[in-house]
Each structure stands twice: as C-alpha cells, then as structure tokens.
Chain A
Amino acid sequence: MGDIHVMREDLRPPEPPARRHFISIRDVTRDDLERLLATARTFERSLEREVKKLPTLKGRLVINVFYESSTRTSSSFELAAKRLSADTMSIKSSGSSVDKGESLKDTAITLGAYDPDVIVIRHPQIGAPQLVARATEAHVVNAGDGKHQHPTQALLDLYAIKQELGRIDGLHVAIVGDVLHSRVARSLIQALALMGAHVTLVAPPALLPRGIEAMGCETTTDIGAIAAADVVYVLRMQRERMQEGANYVPSLREYTARWGVTPERLRPGQKVMHPGPMNRGVEIDPRVADHADALIEAQVRAGLVTRMAVLYDLLVGAPAPVPVGDPVEVA
C-alpha cells in the first residue's frame, strides 16, 4: 500500500478560482464575508505561533500601488503579503512616473508586465481599481478609491466587532460624522447590512448624502440617537476632501459641540470604533478614544489578518485553510 497516496478531499488543492477582484462590498455576498472572516480567524491563530510566516503564497507577487497617503492600510497589506511569503513591491505616486504625468492606465500596464498576482491600489479617484482591472490580468484589491469604497476596512471592522461582541447579526451600529466624504462608511454600511446589523447614520444634514437610505440604513441629525446603539462608529472629519467655502457645517467648533462623540453622549458598555487617523477633540473626545470600550487598536490588529484573508482568498480560494501547511498524506 505504501506507494498509494490519497489526498483527503477537503485538502485537495481547490480549482484555481476564476479571476476575481475585491473592489466593492456590493460585489460580494454574506457567504463571502463569513468565509473571509473565518479565514482571518485561522490566520490570527497562526500568528500566535513563534514563527509567524506561512509558505502559502510563496512565489506570488503582490504589488501595492498607493496614490494617496496611508499608514495603516499600506503597512498592513505589505505585512499581510509578507506573512504569507509573497513577494511584494510598493509603488507610491510621489517619486514614480506618476510625477512625470504618466496616466494610471499606462502605470497599470507597466506593472502588469511583471505578471503580478495581485495589485492592491489606493487612488483618490472613484473608478481607479476598475481601470486597473481592465488594464491588467492581476486580481485587483481596492485599498480605497476616492469617496467610493474601502472594502478591506469594512472587513476588518466586521472582524473586530465579531471578536469583541461575538456576533454581528442583530447588532445596532451608529455611524457618526462625515458620511458624505467617507468611503469607509459606504463599504461599512453595505457590509453591516449584508451581515444583518441595523445601521443608523448620524450627521449634520449636508454631510448625509441624499438618497443614502437606499443602501439599507436610517439617518438622523440627532446625536442623541447614538445612545441606542451597541457600537458607535466615529468617522473622521475629512477636511482635505471638503471644497473651499462649501459650508457643510458652519464651523468645526459647532460640529464638535453638536456631533462630537463625548463620554456624556455614550452609555457604559457601548463600543466605540474609529477607522483612523483620528482628529482628537474634533469628532472624538480623547477620553472616548482612550477608554477601554474603544476598539481602535483591535481594528488595527484586525487589519493584518483580514488582509491576509483577502489575499489568500483571491489567490488560493475557498474554503478556509484549516491546517495551514503541506497537504497531509493519507495511506
């Protein structure tokens, strides 16, 4: 019998997945999100080992292309790829041919010539990841396109919520602040709605996009509404995206007074999240940010394992890798 090797069905390498991207939460199902969360959980356990590097994506190439500044997202994508043994390259808009006026399409074609398996892209313009997907053969992961989507942020937020509260279905999440300019909010509203959470947006009228209720949420301008939520998700005031003289709010001072998340406006036990970077003292009171009920650090940690899960899922495919490593031989 010695020379007959049978591979257990569930350990057989899956069929190579059809070329997929991770560009918008709109493109995925609840099953997809559940699978990614489970995969991330597996990776979290693997990172508890002494040797944290897994051979899973050895020989694969992941290129990170960042046309906007980023600390959390770019570093966690880079580390996620490295933890999975992929080769990585990072391109930033400054210091590259972008400075010389090269178009996004030409940059994408250039990078595509290296046959990358994944291109992770952050870009200030909506639709940039779709353009890269059209111009190259790589799987494309959207690390934020303008005000549109930031799907891996939504995934890490789901992960942090689930780790902390044990479930997502049936939870009430209040998202507070500058929804208008927030790709984080758009991805998160869709992701929470898919997972069965109840979402309330709380913001000044001009920062609530007209018609956003159609995404499956309710809206209010009353900050008092956050008291009813299990989780209060605070958005950053994106002053850099605001047009000069647009008067979304009369002043930041008035914004903070009316919509700032302060200890007085929270109930004990409510969890508080923020995608970072924070404007302490503007949208979030420092006492809230530093309180034990704030999940902000957990969010950052979740970023690594969920991005590992996304890269794994795109390149290796479902199901989750229960034992990560070499196939087991069964006699």
Chain B
Amino acid sequence: MLFVKERPGDNVVVRRARVVDPAQGVDATLDIRVDDGVIAALGTDLDTNEHRVVDADGLVVAPAFVDPHVHLRTPGREDEETIASGTAAAAAGGYCAILAMPNTDPVIDSAAALGSLVEAARTEAEIPVGFLAAITMQQDGSELTEMAELADVGAVGFTDDGVPVTSPGLMRRALQYGAVTHRRIALHCEEPTLSRGGQMHEGAVSAELGFTGYPSVAESVMVERDLALAAYERQPLHLLHLSAWESVQALRRAQQAGIAATGEVTPHHLCLTDEAVRSLDPNVKMNPPLRSESDRTALIEAVKDGTVTCIATDHAPHARHEKDVPFEAAPFGVTGLETAFAALYTHLVEPGLVPLPTMLERLSTGPARAYGLEAPRIAVGARANLVLLDLKASYRITEQTFRSRSANSWLIDSTVKGRVRATVAAGRLVYAA
C-alpha cells in the first residue's frame, strides 16, 4: 500500500547512537549496521564492512516517523507541492512514510486517478507514500466511491478530509462497506451549520478580534455522531486532526466502550492556542482552528495517556500569494513536515510536558498501526527506517529552510531545538544534514 522509487538498499553503520525504540522497549547506546537496507546487527563496536559510517555520538536514533496526514497537492496544485517535493520535505523531517489526502483537483475518487498517482510515486517518491481515496465521489457527500476497487489499486484508507461527510445515512453506508475493503475510514469531523463562516476558535479572542467563531462543538457533535455510528456498525474508524477537549473526551469514552477508534492531533494544536491568532498572521489559520489552552492541555493529556496515538502534521502547502492576504481572506492550512519534531521537542518534550519516548511512539508506531501498516522498528531483520535526532541543536527556521515548495509555516522566524540529522527510509539514506 506504500509506493516509492525502486532503489537498492544502502549499506550504513550508525555509530554510538542512543537507540530509543519505545515499542521494543529499547533505550541503549548501540551501533546499528544496515546491510542492503535491512538492519543486520545491533551491538557495540560493530564492523563497518566498508559501509558508509554515520557518527551518531550524542544523537538519538529512533524508528523514523510516519505522517498519516499530508496534502501533496498533486494532481492540480503542483505549484504548491509535488510527490517529489513533498516526500523530500518528509525525508528532511525524519519521516519514512507519509499518507496523502485525496482532496486534490481532481479528487482521488476513481481507480484511474489513484492508479496514476501510484505510478507517479513509483518514479518520484523519495520515501514511501500511501494514498487515501475519497469516501464520496467529488467529496460532495452524495455517492460512495468504488471503495473495493480503490482498495485493490492501493488505497490505504478512505476519507473526505477537508470536508465532513454531512449525511449520517451515507456515513453509515461507508462504515458498513469497510467490512469489505478492510481499510480505515478517516473522518474530518465538522458540523457545517455550526462552523459556517468560522475563521478561528470561538471564544474570548474571536470575540475581541471580530472573527466569526468556529466553536469546539462544531467538531465534537460530529465526533459523537461518527463514534455512535461506528459502535452501531462495529467498524473501526480514525478521527483526523482533533482539536477540542470534548472530542478527545468522546474518543476516550468510546475506546473504553470497546469501539476500535483511533485519533490524531497536529503539532500546531499541541503547541499553540487561539491567542496566536492575535498576530493576524495567516500562517496560524487552519481548519480545525487553534483552540483554547484547556483544549491544548486536553490534547497533550490524550497524547500522554494513549487516547490519541497519532501525531499528524496535516501538512497543507499554500502558494505564497494566496497566504499573503488579510487573515480573513487567507486559505486554511499550514505546512508541518519539516518542522514537526522540532516544534514538538521545543514546546512539549524539553519543557517536560510529554516524555521523549511517548512522543517518538506517537510519531511512528502509533500512526502506522492506526492504518494497519507495518510499524518501523529497530530490530535485526527489520527494514531500516531510522531517524537521527540532535536534541541539543537549536536553530532558526526561515523561509529558505524548506524543501517543500511552500513555506506557509507558523514557525518562520522562530528558534527551535531538536534537529533531524539523518533519515533512513525503506533502507535508503534519504536525508543527511
């Protein structure tokens, strides 16, 4: 279900790394030898066998990250991102796999559209990429796509991300058909009659700035509806970019009741609140919007306690001229692939809000499992998917920093700590800085 440029695996030895693989219970200083892209040995003072040596003294090596929520803008807006540029950006962010959303132009709602993306990925993708297909034709919420065929062509899952599935009846049908496709249904939860015109979270800040509010309840009523339908149909589901405490509460209750529901949160919702919108910087405008401090606290708690097992960037590239307008006119969305780890490390790990192993797990194993993908792991015999992290490096993020074709990052001109030094994805050294 993941596609990448066909290339032979690399031969690499990573020296003296602090290897942290929370899912394997590993935290030790080790060498890692990769032969032809496969982890061949873990130990101390391993022979280099004329392999390329990467000195990781002082660095953390962890299973590389998996981003379950990326907008590659292809087809249709190749000026904003392509499979090549998006996967290169992901490599620089420490990712070994990403999942692309189908809200492109045209929408990925047919085997032909998906097939051409798969072909393109096989020649362009720097790291493995998977594709979600639409739940409904044109994502207009009226007619199901041919999900079984799409699954055969390689769809990792199904989503109408960008817009909600407003009809409960159709939502039910999509969940029912999940029993045939065995693919995850991923939902953008938003009740449009409650969010209409909304520019930011509804609260004291929107009241003061004059923006039409997009209340938390617009998300959580839809979360509640979809969880109720999933429970009734006994089907799994995945909740995209949760932003409100009511939503994670609902997810927690559903999980306790035995519903196979997973959820994701974004780095920006974990790091920022609606106070950031006071800057009127279009790079803090996204859907769902940044919410209050109590929402942020609830999201952090959910990441810690495992209610939310996935961190997803919702990487949403936008052309510069489209963001360089008044806040109110700007499109929703920010980039995140190249800044996710640094943002999370700076705002959450270093201040002690989330332990490093938990964060690493939510960036890698969690998202892979949510979509039934093989989780990256550091073990002999496993394909090498590694990220080398320098936790001491601080640096300034500028517009020139990005491999993405777009630079609509909320972190521009800020100084962060925690740098990706190298990424090995599917056995290939795809990034080294």
Which chain A residues have a beta carbon within 8 Å of chain B's beta carbons? 26, 103-105, 123, 125-128, 130-131, 145-149, 183, 186, 209-215, 243, 246
Contact = CB atoms under 8 A, between A and B. Distances in A.
A215 B324 CA distance: 29
Contacts of A128: 326
Given A130-B280, A210-B213, A243-B197, A123 B207 contact: no
B325 A147 contact: no
Nearest to B279: A130
B326 A131 contact: yes
Contacts of B335: none
A149 B210 contact: yes
B329 interface: yes
B75 interface: no
A209 B213 contact: yes
Q: What range describes how many residues of B lie at the interface?
A: 20 to 34
Nearest to B209: A148
Contact of B328 (A103, A126, A210, A212): A126
Interface in B254-300: 280, 282
B208 interface: yes
B203 A211 contact: yes
Given A126-B211, A126-B280, A105 B325 contact: yes
Contacts of A126: 199, 209-211, 280, 326-328
Contact of B321 (A103, A130, A215, A246): A103
Interface of B: 196-197, 199, 202-213, 215, 280, 282, 321, 324-329
B199 to A, nearest CB: 8
A282 B210 CA distance: 23
Contacts of A183: 210
A134 to B, nearest CB: 9
Given A126-B209, A126-B211, 18 more contacts: A104-B325, A125-B325, A126-B280, A127-B328, A130-B326, A146-B210, A146-B326, A146-B328, A147-B211, A147-B212, A148-B210, A212-B204, A212-B207, A212-B208, A213-B204, A214-B208, A243-B196, A243-B197
A136 to B, nearest CB: 14
Given A210-B202, A210-B213, A131 B325 contact: yes
B295 to A, nearest CB: 14
A305 to B, nearest CB: 27
Contacts of A103: 321, 324-325
Q: Lowest 8 A-B CB distances belong to which pairs?
A: A147-B210, A211-B204, A127-B327, A209-B207, A214-B204, A127-B326, A125-B326, A212-B207
A130 B329 CA distance: 13
A188 to B, nearest CB: 13
Contact of B327 (A105, A125, A149): A125
Given A103-B321, A125-B327, A243-B197, A215 B207 contact: yes
Nearest to A209: B207
Nearest to A26: B208
A210 B197 CA distance: 15
A186 B210 contact: yes
A243 B282 CA distance: 23
A215 B208 contact: yes
B207 A104 contact: no
Q: In this complex, which of B202, B210, B282 has the most chain A Cβ atoms within 10 angstroms of its Cβ?
A: B210
25 contacts: A26-B208, A123-B326, A125-B327, A125-B328, A126-B211, A126-B280, A126-B327, A126-B328, A127-B327, A130-B280, A131-B325, A146-B328, A147-B211, A148-B210, A209-B207, A209-B213, A210-B207, A211-B202, A211-B203, A211-B204, A211-B205, A211-B206, A212-B208, A214-B204, A215-B207
A127 B324 CA distance: 11
A149 B328 CA distance: 14
A149 B327 CA distance: 14
A209 B204 CA distance: 8
A104 B213 CA distance: 24
Most chain A beta-carbon neighbours within 10 Å: one of B197, B326, B329: B326
Contact of A211 (B207, B280, B326, B328): B207
